[in-house]
Chains A and B, each alone.
Chain A
Amino acid sequence: MLSKVSSRSFSSSALARASAPIKITSAPLAVSPAVSSLKVIVNGAGSKSGPAGLAHLTSTFSFLDTQSKSALRLKRESEFLGGAYKSYVTRDAIVLDATFLKEDLPYFVTALGSVLTESTYKPHELSEIVLPAVKATYNAAVSSASFIALEELHALSFRKGLGSPLYFDGTKSYSVEDISAFAKSAFTADAVEIVSSNVTESDLQSFIADSAFSSLPASGLASSAKPATFVGAESRIRSAGPTAAAIGLPIEDASTYALLSAYLTSEIESTLSTQISTSIKTYKDASLFYFVAESSSSAEVAAAIKKAAAALKSAKGLAKFAKLAQFQTGLTGGKDTVSVSKFNYVAVGDIDALPFADEL
């Protein structure tokens, strides 16, 4: 049938092997022993890097035509072998994720390596496959008022970089040359990290050495400095549909804010009509604490956000919630009190019913 040996035939040249070794880590086995998974995380290729939306387009180009294999052939071969793959974008990285039967490791190492090194970025793929798919992702995401609120909270807190939109929103227009150039600069050996699950590590090492991964160029994007952060901003977005409000701020002391979010979880419960979500978004170079409430009733959102803002200004007795914080975030420790005078605030939906930042 499909040869697993021949699929490794386009191995790297001796020259390429000289490049930096790829970082490999193993994750706990989250699935059954018959199945393996590989996550290829390309750090610095996420939506915080490059112009807004470009990373999302680049990510969606993954697993399409490469120099050695068409997207159709890859899809049909993977279906036979029993493999599923996807690519998604985070603020920090593009993540290629493949799950497959244990014996097909070499095939998928090769496939993942090809995505990074020899994708062809054809114009017809951009218009026929990538743009409709990113549009579907974007539309599904922005149907949630909470998502819009959190995106805006990122924009207020970081402005650029982490503040860029996660997905391609159609405000800009990119050519395949732009995408190809971004991929070329971002897909480098020191940016790539492979997380494997249920894989024999020595096998993986040797398959990677024999695959296109080893021809990735060595120098990557310059390591990013700590991003500038901003507090005290407010944004109000009038829109139809459910109403959401979010408060949050860039933070350093994650443990204390884990306690605060545990405290808010117990103080302000989700109800059937109002969904509360509070946690910490942890990125490579910054963290963001957030509290967001969403409901079809704008009055309920207003009440929840006022309560949360009051708690943020002076929260005491947080140590009590250490166990809940550990359950939610895995973090321990932290201070017993929090007092924040300046934070960022976003209102989305029926904003007439929501307070202004200085009324909180």
Chain B
Amino acid sequence: MFSKRFLSTSVAKAKITQLANGLTVATKSVPSSTSTIGLYSAAGSRAENPYNSGVSTLLGSVLAKSAYSSSLASGVIVSSSNSKETTGVTFSFANGALSDALSVFEKTLSTKAVESTFSDAELIKSEAEKAASFSESLEEKPIERVLEHLTSTAFQSTSLALPTYGKAETVGTLEPMDLTSFFGKYFINSNLALVGTGDVDHEKLIEFASKLTFASGVKPVTKPAKFLGSEVRLRDDTLPSAYVAIAAKGESVLSPNYYVAKVAAKVNGSYSTASPFYKLQGGKLADLVSEYHLADTFSHFSTSYSDTGLWGFVTKSSNIDNLDDLIHFTLKDWGRLSTSISEAEIERAKSALKVELLGTEVTPLEASDKLASDALVSGFEASAAEIVSRIDKVTTSDVTKWAQATLYDQDIAVSGTGQIEALFDYNRIRNDMSMMRW
């Protein structure tokens, strides 16, 4: 009975409403036995500065922690989430228990509750210590580490340069004052979204939202980030492999070429020797890499922010002596996007992209983070039909034109850690972004 209902109504499109006071309410039906509601601000690490780096992470975790234990018995799990452009406090519950979640929401996020949480210096201190060691633990994970530093060097001295979860040395020293002022500046109606995913009624959430009393004000503006070709090397010969990420400036969330860049990233897609099928993959680069064992894993990405993006790949290779070959052949293959990519390869990439974007199961909590970022950053969430039709429209010549303008002979950001002795100097790598002959 449960399944039939969802099948017949099909997957609902996200509903997004902006209230008169500027607050955004967004809901989406996700088939699951649990649901999530959350309050998100369009202010993540990009809204921080070098002196309060990590304040958005800390703010979320302090608010979540203040209510976590006391609300467990009522079946509501309070947690927080962070990205470069959003900070959220979420409440997950079994379907049907929306009223419990709303009451925990009020107990956690009413003006009074927030004030009293922010005056609890002890709680803030212990959470700040936790946040600092969490930030440090991310630096221990080589793939996360190279990607964070890639973004950091590509957009150096802009708001995108600060790490998503804060710098350990800063976040550990934050004080109640920092939280209060960040909350006052960014948790205002025009910058907030109340999001419900799973089995949450849109009208009910609007009714609840209209009673919320966050401050009003003009939506804060984030300064656009500028891409700079550069590199960062954190050589560490104690790690077992070499880890490298390379990217050119990519597309923003609202760019007309958003899906073109996504398709281009799927042409070579990803590769992992842990898969039984890795030697059978169709991509030309995967073929080369497996033939000569140039890498253990690689993954191409097209990451988008509100005003800019990164297009590139991240790789792990235990074949450290041939790292130069891996990088050379990868970048040479990017060159084919501008010159000689075949229609078949683009069709394959489009199919792969569709299945990835539409076929991945998400929990209500994951859907909540995504819906919040769509509602706050782009103002809408594309339906499945829109995604399919926009991917279908991408042609081989669209990709070629895009690659000629965005990749061919363009500056790149390079980030590496582990045993990167064989990672050539910046100019040698940069030269592979163009070809003397096609």
Separation of A9 and B32 alpha carbons in the complex (Å): 38
Separation of A60 and B388 alpha carbons in the complex (Å): 32
* Most chain A C-beta atoms within 10 Å of own C-beta, residue among B74, B277, B388: B277
Q: Are B279 and A129 in contact (CB under 8 A)?
A: yes
Q: Are B280 and A71 in contact (CB under 8 A)?
A: yes
Write the chain A residue with the least CB distance to B133. Answer: A272
Q: Are A140 and B274 in contact (CB under 8 A)?
A: yes
- For residue A198, which residues in chain B have a CB less than 8 angstroms away from its CB? 7
Q: Are B94 and A27 in contact (CB under 8 A)?
A: no
Total cross-chain contacts (CB, 8 A): 138
Q: Mark A320-334, 1 if CB is under 8 A from B, else 0.
A: 111111110010000
Take A33-B10, A323-B97, A327-B75 as given contacts and tell me if A83 and B355 are in contact as well, using a CB distance cutoff of 8 Å: yes
- For residue A28, which residues in chain B have a CB less than 8 angstroms away from its CB? 2-3, 6-7, 31-32
A6 at the interface (CB under 8 A from B): no
Separation of A84 and B353 alpha carbons in the complex (Å): 11
Q: Are A266 and B69 in contact (CB under 8 A)?
A: yes
Nearest-neighbour CB distance to chain B for A86, whole angstroms, equals 8
Write the chain B residue with the least CB distance to A26. Answer: B3
Separation of A118 and B236 alpha carbons in the complex (Å): 49
Q: Are A327 and B7 in contact (CB under 8 A)?
A: no
How many residues of chain B get a CB closer than 8 Å to chain A's CBs? 53
Separation of A187 and B83 alpha carbons in the complex (Å): 46
B360 at the interface (CB under 8 A from A): yes
A205 at the interface (CB under 8 A from B): no
Separation of A80 and B348 alpha carbons in the complex (Å): 5
Separation of A29 and B358 alpha carbons in the complex (Å): 11
Q: Are B93 and A31 in contact (CB under 8 A)?
A: no
Within 8 Å by CB of B359, from A75, A80, A84, A140, lies A84
Select the stretch in A130-138, A155-163, A211-219, A345-353 that faces chain B.
A130-138
Separation of A327 and B344 alpha carbons in the complex (Å): 46
Take A35-B358, A81-B351 as given contacts and tell me if A75 and B6 are in contact as well, using a CB distance cutoff of 8 Å: no
Write the chain B residue with the least CB distance to A59. Answer: B276
B275 at the interface (CB under 8 A from A): yes
Within 8 Å by CB of A327, from B11, B92, B352, B384, lies B92
- For residue B100, which residues in chain A have a CB less than 8 angstroms away from its CB? 323
- For residue A75, which residues in chain B have a CB less than 8 angstroms away from its CB? 277, 280-282
Within 8 Å by CB of A33, from B348, B361, B384, lies B384
Separation of A309 and B92 alpha carbons in the complex (Å): 28
B305 at the interface (CB under 8 A from A): no
B178 at the interface (CB under 8 A from A): no
Within 8 Å by CB of A324, from B72, B134, B348, B358, lies B72
Separation of A271 and B137 alpha carbons in the complex (Å): 14
B111 at the interface (CB under 8 A from A): no
Q: Are B355 and A99 in contact (CB under 8 A)?
A: yes
- For residue A323, which residues in chain B have a CB less than 8 angstroms away from its CB? 73-76, 93-94, 97, 100
Which B residues are closer than 8 A to A by beta carbons?
2-3, 6-7, 10-11, 31-34, 68-69, 72-77, 92-94, 97, 100, 130, 133-134, 137, 273-277, 279-282, 344, 347-348, 350-352, 354-355, 358-362, 384-385, 387-388
* A–B Cβ pairs within 8 angstroms, 10 of them: A26-B3, A26-B7, A27-B3, A28-B3, A28-B32, A30-B31, A63-B276, A71-B280, A262-B72, A272-B130
Question: 9 tightest A-B contacts by CB?
Answer: A323-B75, A82-B351, A32-B384, A28-B31, A32-B358, A133-B276, A75-B280, A28-B6, A35-B359
Q: A31-B361, A35-B358, A327-B93 are in contact. List 9 more A-B contacts (CB 8 A).
A: A28-B7, A28-B32, A31-B358, A63-B277, A76-B282, A99-B359, A100-B355, A266-B73, A327-B76
